[in-house]
């Protein structure tokens, strides 16, 4: 499905996404007249680069700044300071109307399979939305059917409404919509955390498959380490707005360097620890004890 014409003009070689010292502060509501309003540093001085074709994972507990970082990368929010480039083009200092190119280059898959599809729109219109929004009218009908089939749905799904589908199917629709403008980068924000365990693997495999088939760069955000391990080449761990560790997936899982990464890994329940009769409390205490300074 890759378009050779586009590959030829795929821009200068270099990272798909590059962040240089990106921070995003949020000003809280003033609590008193005499003190300045408190500031929340959601993302602090993050620098990283994601290579073309790479599958990059971001893990961290809730509140660690994953979603804020994602919003910045997608050009939905602007950093307080720092520079952000997608495919070598600046995003950090551009007004929304100058980011139209980004809307076809980079697409999102969301967490909530219910909330990310407009309940009043037919699947046909949902999937075609990026095309219509970018002024493409011709051939949308065929493209929607192609895409639906590509993500494992039948063509007659196009005329139905989101609530007529299961959570897993809705995520498939979401993936189809993301693929519609033929993006280079796919950003998935907790794509399976709202799904039943039984359909998680299917959706993950689908993402895996389209990233492969469409030659995409993937940025996957999850709080579930096993998901990241399953899909990603390289992983970063976020804590309180900072990247505490960036490492190839296997290295991170087998030889984590940062204590926080270790505690995260230790918190993943596995059969061995469960059988050894240790409780969650023991685990937490043990991890803290083991963590070197």
Partner 1 sequence: MSEALQGVPALGPVGGPGGGAAAGPLAVEGAGRRRALNPSLLIGGSIVLAIVLLALVSYVWTPWPPMRVLPVEPYQTPNAEHWLGTDRLRRDVLTQILVGARTTLFVGLVAVGVAAVVGVPLGILAAMSPGWLGQLVMRTNDVLLAFPALLLAIMFAALYGGSTRVAMIAIGIATIPAFARITRSGALGVMASEYVVAARSAGRSALGIAGRHVLPNVAGLVIVQASVSFAIAILAEAALAYLGLGTPTGQASWGRMLFEAQTTLRSAPHLALVPGAAIALSVLGFNLFGDGLRDWLDPKLEGR
**Chain positions contacting partner 1, by CB under 8 A:** 74-76, 100, 103-104, 106-108, 110-112, 114-121, 129-130, 133-134, 161, 163-164, 174, 177, 181
Closer residue to partner 1 in complex, CB, 161/253 = 161
> What is the nearest approach in angstroms of partner 1 to the Cβ of residue 42?
17
Closer residue to partner 1 in complex, CB, 117/231 = 117
> What is the nearest approach in angstroms of partner 1 to the Cβ of residue 161?
5
> What is the nearest approach in angstroms of partner 1 to the Cβ of residue 119?
5
Query: Among 157, 134, 162, which Cα is nearest to 144's?
Result: 157
Closer residue to partner 1 in complex, CB, 129/224 = 129
Q: Are strands 234-239 and 242-248 parallel, antiparallel or unpaired?
A: antiparallel
Instruction: Decide if 60 contacts 237 (C-beta within 8 A).
Output: yes
Closer residue to partner 1 in complex, CB, 29/120 = 120
> What is the nearest approach in angstroms of partner 1 to the Cβ of residue 258?
31
> What is the nearest approach in angstroms of partner 1 to the Cβ of residue 115?
4
Closer residue to partner 1 in complex, CB, 22/117 = 117
């Amino acid at each position: 499905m890759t378009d050779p014409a586009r590959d030829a003009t795929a821009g200068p070689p270099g990272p798909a996404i590059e962040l240089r010292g990106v921070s995003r502060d949020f000003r809280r509501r003033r609590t008193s007249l005499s003190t300045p309003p408190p500031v929340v540093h959601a993302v602090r001085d993050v620098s990283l680069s994601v290579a073309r074709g790479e599958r990059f994972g971001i893990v961290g507990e809730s509140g660690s700044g994953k979603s804020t970082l994602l919003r910045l990368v997608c050009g939905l929010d602007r950093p307080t300071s720092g520079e952000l480039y997608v495919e070598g083009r600046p995003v950090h200092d551009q007004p929304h109307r100058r980011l139209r190119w980004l809307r076809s280059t980079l697409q999102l898959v969301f967490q909530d399979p219910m909330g990310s599809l407009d309940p009043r729109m037919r699947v046909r219109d949902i999937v075609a939305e990026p095309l219509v929004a970018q002024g493409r009218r011709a051939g949308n009908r065929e493209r929607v059917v192609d895409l639906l089939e590509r993500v494992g749905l039948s063509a007659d799904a196009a005329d139905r409404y989101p609530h007529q589908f299961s959570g897993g199917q809705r995520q498939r629709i979401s993936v189809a919509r993301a693929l519609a403008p033929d993006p280079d980068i796919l950003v998935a924000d907790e794509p399976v955390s709202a799904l039943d365990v039984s359909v998680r693997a299917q959706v993950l495999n689908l993402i895996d498959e389209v990233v492969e088939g469409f030659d995409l760069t993937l940025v996957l955000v999850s709080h579930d380490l096993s998901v990241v391990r399953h899909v990603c080449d390289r992983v970063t761990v976020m804590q309180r707005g900072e990247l505490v560790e960036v490492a190839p997936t296997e290295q991170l899982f087998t030889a984590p360097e940062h204590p926080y990464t270790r505690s995260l890994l230790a918190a993943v329940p596995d059969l061995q620890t469960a059988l050894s009769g240790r409780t969650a409390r023991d685990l937490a205490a043990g991890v803290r004890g083991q963590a070197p300074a």
